[in-house]
């Protein structure tokens, strides 16, 4: 194990300044031992990051243990104490807290070392599967990713938990045992102890083909990433997505391009259902079409996909569903104003007026989708688009 990890350190060419994520558990304790014996002797600058979640009754003892171990190795340690943690989706919240801390400490000249092993990779694969992640989620945990402004290296991903336990025993490595890791109310623990035990009754060697599939998924993701980057370089604008060629791409490439475009506009990732809705309106690239998700309007105009942030305080759904508003819009088309001129000024062309009702209300031009098809408010008020009209 030592020899193989030593080779990985040589091949990955990590930065000279290294931070180790250390909790005191068996995985990170083995990683600390390896780093001391491989990197310390080669004059790497090594520091330890320890995040102490104070909601555990053993938190103080764990802090003393981690500090003692780092003193033994003569490696500086920085501990962050986290007091307020919500119970809802605890695993995800802890991950967000950790990476916020990492972002404060690390930069382009540093590498963060983490102690994930092959068991963690398989567990993450199943977690992503049950969450409904796409193709990118099946590649699970990467060995050497770049996270925003720093790089991450996981040297122990080729080794399973049994091998790590044997290494710790052979080298007399001390570590702490966190008994919350056995609590099956947490998703990862449920997969680790309940699901895997059931699968193992039928397929004793099930982890090997899953790891092989994860490796294949990584190669597939590299190809998808290459195709997406090639297309987006041609697009050259984050404000809109050119649709002239996107509809000729395979559906899985198109989906990933949409995800990147949405991310570049600082919008939270969309659900699988919303991505499918967006794919449907892309087919009508020659016509004006749109739909609303949360506080954003996605609309197609002049063969381009735009994203527009909506002022939600103006469109209150209770107000829109009220009888007074409905009476007003029934008579609104009799008002004397130049609809086509306003649309033209806003570069909105090819709009099908049979499918979209266009009204003027106060100082806005509002386009309601599907109002002629149904008078059920919940249907036609789901989608609306508005343009501010200058007085």
Q: What is the per-residue pLDDT for 261?
A: 86
Residue-wise pLDDT for 63-77, tens only, equals 999 999 999 999 999
Phi–psi pair at 102, nearest 5 degrees: -60, -40
CATH of the domain at 140: 3.40.50.620
Q: Same domain, yes or no, for 92 and 21? A: yes
CB of 59 closer than 8 Å to CB of 51: no
CB 103 within 8 A of CB 92: no
Least confident of 57-61, 149-153, 203-207, 359-363: 359-363
pLDDT score, position 1: 85
Residues 97 and 121 in one domain: yes
Q: Show the domain range for 343.
A: 317-388
* 244 vs 116 pLDDT, higher one: 116
Q: How far apart are CA 372 and CA 352, in angstroms?
A: 12
Q: What pLDDT is attached to residue 371?
A: 44
Residues tagged in the binding site annotation: 23-28
Higher pLDDT, 313 or 162: 162
Joined together, the tokens standing for residue 209 give 């083909």
204-215 pLDDT tens trace:
999 999 999 999
* One domain for residues 144 and 27: yes
Confidence band of 377 (pLDDT split at 50, 70, 90):
very low
Highest average pLDDT, of 6-10, 216-220, 311-315, 356-360, comes from 216-220
User: What string of H, E and C letters represents the secondary structure of 52-66?
Assistant: EECCCCCHHHHHHHH
Residues 85, 228 within the same domain: no
The helix/strand/coil state of 9 is: helix
Is 130 found in the same domain as 158?
yes
- Using CA atoms, how far apart are residues 210 and 215, in angstroms rounded to an integer? 9
Dihedral of the alpha carbons of 261, 145, 178, 36, in degrees to the nearest 10:
-160
**58 and 146 within one domain:** yes
Structure tokens given for 282: 């892309």
The annotation places the binding site for ATP at: 23-28
Confidence of residue 10 (pLDDT cuts 50, 70, 90): confident
Q: Of 252, 277, 309, which marks where a domain is finished?
A: 309
| Residue 214 main-chain phi, psi, to 5 deg | -60, -40
Domain end position, chosen among 176, 202, 228? 202
One domain, residues 50 and 101 = yes
Looking at per-residue pLDDT, the higher value among 384 and 377 belongs to: 384
Residue 241 has pLDDT above 50, yes or no: yes
Using only the alpha carbons of the chain, give its radius of gyration: 27
The pLDDT of residue 363: 58
Assess whether pLDDT exceeds 80 at residue 7.
yes
Q: What is the mean pLDDT of the chain?
A: 79
For the segment 304-360, what is each residue's pLDDT rounded down to a tens digit?
Answer: 888 877 654 444 444 444 545 545 544 444 444 455 555 555 555 555 555 555 655
| pTM for the full predicted model | 0.76
* Higher pLDDT, residue 320 or 147: 147
Pairwise pLDDT comparison (328 vs 174), residue with the higher score = 174
| Per-residue pLDDT, 323 | 47
Q: In this structure, are 288 and 363 located in the same domain?
A: no
């Amino acid at each position: 194990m030592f020899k193989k990890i030593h080779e990985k350190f040589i091949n990955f060419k990590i930065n000279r300044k290294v931070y180790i994520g250390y909790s005191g558990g068996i995985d990170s304790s083995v990683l600390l031992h390896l780093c001391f014996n491989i990197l310390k002797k080669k004059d790497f600058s090594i520091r330890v990051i320890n995040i102490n979640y104070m909601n555990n009754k053993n938190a103080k003892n764990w802090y003393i243990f981690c500090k003692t171990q780092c003193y033994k190795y003569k490696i500086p340690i920085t501990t962050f104490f986290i007091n307020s943690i919500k119970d809802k989706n605890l695993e995800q919240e802890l991950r967000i807290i950790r990476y916020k801390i990492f972002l404060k400490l690390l930069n382009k000249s540093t590498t963060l070392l983490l102690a994930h092993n092959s068991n963690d990779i398989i567990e993450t694969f199943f977690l992503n599967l049950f969450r409904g992640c796409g193709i990118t989620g099946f590649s699970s945990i990467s060995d050497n990713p770049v996270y925003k402004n720093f790089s991450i290296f996981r040297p122990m991903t080729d080794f399973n938990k049994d091998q790590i336990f044997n290494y710790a025993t052979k080298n007399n490595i001390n570590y702490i045992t966190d008994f919350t890791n056995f609590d099956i109310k947490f998703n990862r623990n449920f997969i680790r102890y309940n699901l895997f035990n059931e699968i193992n009754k039928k397929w004793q060697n099930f982890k090997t083909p899953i790891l092989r599939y994860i490796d294949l998924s990584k190669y597939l993701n590299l190809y998808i990433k290459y195709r997406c980057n090639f297309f987006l370089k041609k697009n050259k604008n984050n404000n809109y997505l050119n649709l002239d060629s996107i509809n000729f791409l395979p559906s899985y490439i198109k989906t990933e391009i949409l995800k990147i475009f949405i991310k570049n506009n600082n919008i939270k990732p969309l659900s699988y259902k919303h991505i499918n809705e967006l794919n449907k309106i892309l087919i009508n690239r020659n016509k004006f079409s749109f739909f609303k998700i949360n506080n954003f309007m996605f609309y197609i105009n002049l063969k381009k996909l735009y994203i527009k942030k909506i002022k939600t305080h103006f469109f209150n759904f209770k107000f829109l569903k009220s009888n007074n508003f409905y009476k007003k819009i029934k008579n609104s088309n009799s008002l004397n104003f130049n609809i086509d001129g306003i649309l033209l000024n806003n570069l909105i062309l090819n709009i099908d007026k049979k499918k979209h009702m266009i009204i003027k209300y106060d100082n806005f031009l509002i386009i309601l989708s599907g109002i002629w098809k149904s008078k059920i408010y919940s249907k036609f008020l789901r989608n609306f688009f508005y343009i501010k009209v200058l007085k």
